[in-house]
Copies of this chain bind each other. A is one copy, B any other.
Amino acid sequence: MSIRLAIIGAGIMGSDHARIFSGDLPGASVQVVCDASGERARAVAEACGAADVSTDPLETIARGDVDAVLVASPDETHAPLSLAAIRAGKPVLCEKPLSQSGRECLDVIEAEVARGRQFVQLGFMRRFDPSYTEMKAALSDGTLGRAIMMHNFHRNVEAPANFTGQMAITNSAPHEFDVARFVLGADYTAISVFQPGAVDGAQTGAPVFMVLETDRGQLVNIEINNNAAYGYDVRGELIGEKGSVFLNAPIHLRYNIALTAAERYAPDWRPRFAEAYRLQNRAFLHFVRTGSFPAIAAHAWDGYCAARVAEAGVEALATGARVDIAVAERPALYQRS
């Protein structure tokens, strides 16, 4: 039996997910595409062969012919729609963030705890990227010894004109917060935030540099630079007692042209993480089919932790001080072996 999916949100992310589910993975079909814009919904529905369209997300989630839900609507709807899916008893793959508010994340967690099982798989797709999984393996198989430090670099070509350091922390950094926490198997205890000033009197695109400390003693450094100009580039290095590993972006060609040997950057994140999305969504279908939550996927608690770090980061940015990160008690539902 093929899984019937509802895609909520027909923007860039939603249409990408619709394409992956319909064209790259077996065992699922898109039943409904839902978007505030009926036109946008119809365009995506046509491209992925969906049976129906809608402009009402709650109604869509409740439909009898929908087995599972993909939420890629605006950020502030993620938690409410995830809650609706939980109430409907349907698994949901929710784009990050679960919520920018740790408090709202706890609402979702409490709903899952009340039902005694997990429904929400959170779209921190980097956990499925082969670079990060191999990095985590280099730690767990002893290649690196104990982890000591991790450096993370997130660069985009250009941010919107009104992009701020705070938005770098709340919108971009959560991917880094989550994946470093995933690789290290640790939780954050404190965050310090630095920003370059006006260089020679002029602003330079609101990059942010963060130093995080973990409960296992590690340092995690994160640069968010959304006006890096040169390309979309995510890099990282994990440093252990015996050595270190770098993330390599998989590259297919090296060009010898015009006095340079050059490898190309993509202008956005999609080529870099295409395989991660495919593997993440495949894991979600397996979750829907079996009820067994994917071992490496992010769950609601992970979403809460990312939100709490971002909240502390915003405070650290505003005050210039090192801010401790306090979290609630982790429910047994989210313990990992």
Contacts and interface: CB of A to CB of B under 8 A. Distances in A.
Interface of A: 22-28, 130-131, 134-135, 138, 143-149, 151, 192, 194-200, 202, 204-205, 207, 209, 211, 213, 216-219, 221, 223, 225, 227-231, 233, 239, 241-248, 250-267, 275, 320, 322
Contact of A248 (B217, B223, B239, B254): B254
A245 B241 contact: no
A267 B259 contact: yes
Contacts of A148: 196, 199, 204-205, 207, 225
Give the copy number: 4
Contact of A229 (B242, B251, B266): B242
Given A149-B207, A262-B262, A250 B252 contact: yes
B244 A253 contact: no
Contacts of A250: 250-252
B211 A199 contact: no
Contact of A245 (B243, B256, B265): B256
Nearest to A146: B199
B209 A149 contact: yes
Contacts of A253: 131, 134-135, 138, 245-248
Contacts of A196: 148-149, 217-219
A265 B261 contact: yes
B219 A221 contact: no
Contacts of A216: 199-200
A121 B148 CA distance: 37
Given A230-B257, A231-B261, 11 more contacts: A26-B27, A148-B196, A149-B207, A149-B223, A207-B239, A228-B244, A230-B259, A245-B254, A256-B265, A260-B260, A260-B264
The 3 closest A-B pairs by CB, nearest first: A250-B250, A197-B217, A243-B257
Nearest to A24: B26
B194 A213 contact: yes
Nearest to A233: B256
A276 B28 CA distance: 23
A267 B196 CA distance: 35
A259 to B, nearest CB: 5
A3 to B, nearest CB: 11
A217 B200 contact: yes
A260 B259 contact: no
Nearest to A208: B219
B217 A198 contact: yes
Most-contacted residue by chain B among A144, A194, A198, A199 (CB, 10 A): A199
